Amino acid sequence: MYTDKSFLEKLKPYVLADMKASGILASLTAAQAFIESNKGNSGLALNCYNLFGIKGTYNGQSQKFLTTEYINGVAVKVKADFRKYPSWAESIADH
């Protein structure tokens, strides 16, 4: 289980490298990853290294998770494919 501090310490080199490559501020990427992955503790982050809840496949890899979709304003539970990454680095770069 990551704490606020341990998550951000582990995330730091990845978001700094991405900032150099993409120009997106490391603080923005880190903040979004922190919120969307429950500071690295979501099932999606732990099982798929997917820090941003991105659906679909990554290099043919995905995993199904139960999620809520809104169809005509009605919440519906569905199983959807979410991208499965080999590491946080790919998740951040793909973001």
Q: Is 69 a catalytic residue?
A: yes
Q: Is 18 a catalytic residue?
A: no
Catalytic residue (one of 4, 69, 81, 90): 69
Catalytic residue (one of 9, 18, 81, 94): 94
Q: Residue type for 57, please? A: T
Angle at 56 between CA 40 and CA 46, to 5 degrees: 20
Annotated catalytic residues are 69, 94
